[in-house]
Amino acid sequence: MFHKEGHKIIALTFIIVIGLFLIVDNFVSTTWLNYLLMSFLFVFLILILQFFRNPKKKLVLNDSTIISPVDGKVVVIEEVFEPEYFKDKRLQVSVFMSPINVHVTRYPVAGKITYSKYHPGKFLVAWHPKASEENERTTVVVDNKLYGEILYRQIAGALARRIVNYAVKDQEVEKGSDSGFIKFGSRVDLYLPLDTKIKVQLNQKVSGGESIIAEM
């Protein structure tokens, strides 16, 4: 199953790969080079397909938990000052996605969207300390009945060139449902209340919609 954001790119990739296959087959007479080029095209097609895959998830819908919005690895757990919306201290948990991870973004909690804003910016590597302030990004705040307002931020990386954000202000959203997509490598930051109990560790691999990031 593939995410809708990849349908056009997948179709275009199929056309290009098939065209190049025919060119290689007809004009490259050297056997080893023919096989090498065809193998490269096949691997390229597989990489595009796996990037846009959207596997079914066993969503964790327990109201007392906050789930990971994306697949990836936990790279930051620290108390920070959040300057854009809260303008006070929060617990930040950041998940880095490599190009081989599923890049669907999911709502970490259910509730009402109170803030959704896109910021143009740079394309520093996603783990750069200034990426959350200087890179292209979107900031979304969900008002949850148990936790209050939870902020998450989609951040483009060095390879990412498009962030898709479905969150609309005043919209009611379900926990674990699609909230967007980031194309080709990126990171998502979560900003949580200081009294939240973090359930993950640094360098832990997490699964979007399934892994529990925190609970009250």
Q: Give the domain CATH number at 130.
A: 2.70.70
Contact residues for 158 (Cβ-Cβ < 8 A; gap 6+): 123, 124, 125, 126, 185
Helices 7-27 & 31-51 angle (0-180, nearest 10): 180
Please provide the size of the chain in residues: 216
**Taking 80 as the threshold, does the pLDDT of residue 141 lie above it?**
yes
Of all residues in the chain, what percent carry a pLDDT higher than 70?
91
Which residue reads 């302030």 in tokens?
133
197 and 149 within one domain: yes
- Residues recognised as catalytic: 186
| Helix, strand or coil, per DSSP, at residue 47 | helix
The answer as to whether 57 is a domain residue is no
120 and 30 within one domain: no
The answer as to whether 34 is a domain residue is yes
The answer as to whether 9 is a domain residue is yes
Q: Are 100 and 107 in contact (CB under 8 A)?
A: no
184 and 80 within one domain: yes
Q: What is the pLDDT of residue 72?
A: 93
44 and 142 within one domain: no
Indicate the pTM of the whole model. 0.81
72 and 8 within one domain: no
196 and 95 within one domain: yes
189 and 105 within one domain: yes
What's the token pair of residue 44?
A: 């390229």
**Taking 70 as the threshold, does the pLDDT of residue 147 lie above it?**
yes
19 and 90 within one domain: no
- What is the residue type of 43? V
The answer as to whether 58 is a domain residue is no
107 and 35 within one domain: no
Q: What is the pLDDT of residue 128?
A: 62
Q: What is the pLDDT of residue 38?
A: 87
**Taking 90 as the threshold, does the pLDDT of residue 82 lie above it?**
yes
Which residue reads 């790119």 in tokens?
9
Q: Are 187 and 126 in contact (CB under 8 A)?
A: yes
| Helix, strand or coil, per DSSP, at residue 9 | helix
Domain range for 22 is 4-51
203 and 121 within one domain: yes
78 and 10 within one domain: no
CA 13-19-20 angle, to 5 degrees, is 90
Q: Tell me the pLDDT band of 86, cut-offs 50, 70 and 90.
A: very high
Query: Which of the two residues, 47 and 176, has the higher pLDDT score?
Result: 176
Q: Give the number of domains in the chain.
A: 2
